[in-house]
Structure 1
Amino acid sequence: MRVEIWSDINCPWCYIGKARFEKALERFPHREDVEIVHRSFELDPTAPAEARPVVPLIAAKYGIGLDRAEAAEQGIAASARDEGLTYRTEGRDAANSFDMHRLLHFAEEHGRRAQLLDVLYRANFADERSAFAPGRLLELAVEAGLDAGAAAHVLADRTAYADAVREDEATASAMGATGVPFFVFDRRLGVSGAQPPATFTAALEQAWDSRVPVPLLTGADTTAESCGPDGCALP
């Protein structure tokens, strides 16, 4: 069985949703027969390359004060910590993620996509140093086990793997995905948002047993937290 996961490094609910899904997968009796494929999705393709502080971005996005934006970040951090994840609420920033997605496709060719994805999530949500600092992405690529020279060549060529990123995004759009995380099981069952592990368990079981196309998991919480073009769900 194949599970495709569309996500963006800028999306905190993707970070949390990945951990919740992995908890469900760990308990799934057929987990050795499940292929995980990570797909690209940019929450804001127009975002500038220069990093900007997250809290003011949240405040501007939702038209709320900085205090409420900070409280929202604290709420997301609490959800992350419930899953055993580190989440830094102060000094975090965001920027255009296109180069990250291009590098993830390069990493896939070398069997290191999962490793790079974990490194990028940790760098963006847990590390003190920004994932978007100059030269940082190349450092993270090497940390994930990629060759420094080859990774630098990919980053220098803005066309490298660009089509692969756009193809992932076009596929998500064709499936009706408007936000992430978005999980698709054998192209027959879709689960949107950072659902609880129990929901992912039900999805794995239903997808494994089902031979009839089903658009959405019956009983899933359609309001589960996710991130979309208009922003991320606030606690």
Structure 2
Amino acid sequence: MRVEIWSDIACPWCYVGKARFEKALAAFPHRDDVEVVHRSFELDPGRAKGDVQPVLTMLTKKYGMSEAQAEAGEDNLGAQAGAEGLPYRTRGRDHGNTFDMHRLLHFAKEQGKQDELLGLLYKANFAEERSVFTEGDERLVELAGQAGLDPEAARKVLADPTAYADEVRADEREAAQLGANGVPFFVLDRAYGISGAQPAEVFTRALTQAWEARSPLTVLGQDDADTCGPDGCAVPQK
């Protein structure tokens, strides 16, 4: 069974939702038969690469909140993250363009390191004092190395603005086709969709339902027909 997760590194609910989903998956009896694929989704695709501002400033401008409301929202998110065992800085974080991070995640996917890099990007953005937006490509190269990727190869990806750009855009188009207008968005076997950072119990029920709904293979033909097996092919006797 395949689970696809559309998310953005700048999305705090994606950070929390990933932890809740993983809690459910860890307890799922068929977890070893579940493939998890992370898909790209930008919350702020029109933002220029160098346009970085404090999260609280972004919230007040984008959503018309007062500073007190923005702070209360961050405090709530900090509590939600803490309940999942996640560190979360409620003050002093930055917000910026995440396109290069998504390109690097597609590169990491080819190397089998996508989940590792995503986890490090989330931690860097939501828990660490250093900004993933103001230190340039070298910060992302550093995180790529921590994820087990070749730093020089990661640096080359980031230096080429076309590298994996089509893959990011394809993910975003697919999200729109599936009706996802927010993240996190989870799709199980292209049959069930879950929107938002739902409690782990919701993911548990969804995994169970999706697994049980999988169509069993229907075999057509005689059971005694000639076949080739692990011991080779039987030779007809004349």
TM-score (norm 2): 0.87
Residue in 2 that maps onto 1:196 = 199
Does 2:109 align with 1:104? no
Over residues 99-153 of structure 1, what are the superposed CA-to-partner deviations in whole Å (9 max), with x where a residue is unaligned? Answer: 0000000011111111100000000000010111222111111111111111111
Over residues 31-76 of structure 1, what are the superposed CA-to-partner deviations in whole Å (9 max), with x where a residue is unaligned? Answer: 0110001100111111122321000111112212112111110111
Does 2:158 align with 1:155? yes
What is the rounded CA distance, in whole Å, between the counterparts of 2:154 and 2:29 in structure 1? 37
Does 2:3 align with 1:3? yes
What is the rounded CA distance, in whole Å, between the counterparts of 1:44 and 1:8 in structure 2? 9
Q: Which amino acid aligns with 2:20?
A: R
How large is the Cα RMSD of the aligned pairs?
1.0
What is the rounded CA distance, in whole Å, between the counterparts of 1:26 and 1:142 in structure 2? 26
Counterparts of 1:209-220 in structure 2, within 5 Å, are: 209-211=212-214
Pick one of 142, 145, 156 that aligns with 2:148: 145
| Partner secondary structure for residue 42 of structure 1 | coil
Q: CA deviation at 1:211?
A: 4.2
| Partner secondary structure for residue 117 of structure 2 | helix
Does 2:93 align with 1:92? yes
Structure ID, larger Rg = 2
Q: How many aligned residue pairs are there?
A: 212
Alignment gaps of 5+ in structure 2: 216-238
Residue in 1 that maps onto 2:114 = 113
Residue in 1 that maps onto 2:179 = 176
Counterparts of 1:123-134 in structure 2, within 5 Å, are: 123-132=124-133, 133-134=135-136
Alignment gaps of 5+ in structure 1: 213-235
| Partner secondary structure for residue 86 of structure 1 | coil
Residue in 1 that maps onto 2:231 = none
What is the rounded CA distance, in whole Å, between the counterparts of 2:160 and 2:151 in structure 1? 14
Residue in 2 that maps onto 1:64 = 65
What is the rounded CA distance, in whole Å, between the counterparts of 1:62 and 1:43 in structure 2? 13
Q: Which amino acid aligns with 1:168?
A: D
| Partner secondary structure for residue 69 of structure 1 | helix
Does 2:46 align with 1:43? no
Over residues 139-191 of structure 1, what are the superposed CA-to-partner deviations in whole Å (9 max), with x where a residue is unaligned? Answer: 11111111111111100000000000011111111101001000000000000
Q: Percent identity?
A: 63
What is the rounded CA distance, in whole Å, between the counterparts of 1:46 and 1:112 in structure 2? 28
| Partner secondary structure for residue 191 of structure 1 | strand
Over residues 184-222 of structure 1, what are the superposed CA-to-partner deviations in whole Å (9 max), with x where a residue is unaligned? Answer: 00000000000000000000001001148xxxxxxxxxx
What is the rounded CA distance, in whole Å, between the counterparts of 1:3 and 1:66 in structure 2? 37
Q: Which amino acid aligns with 2:23?
A: K
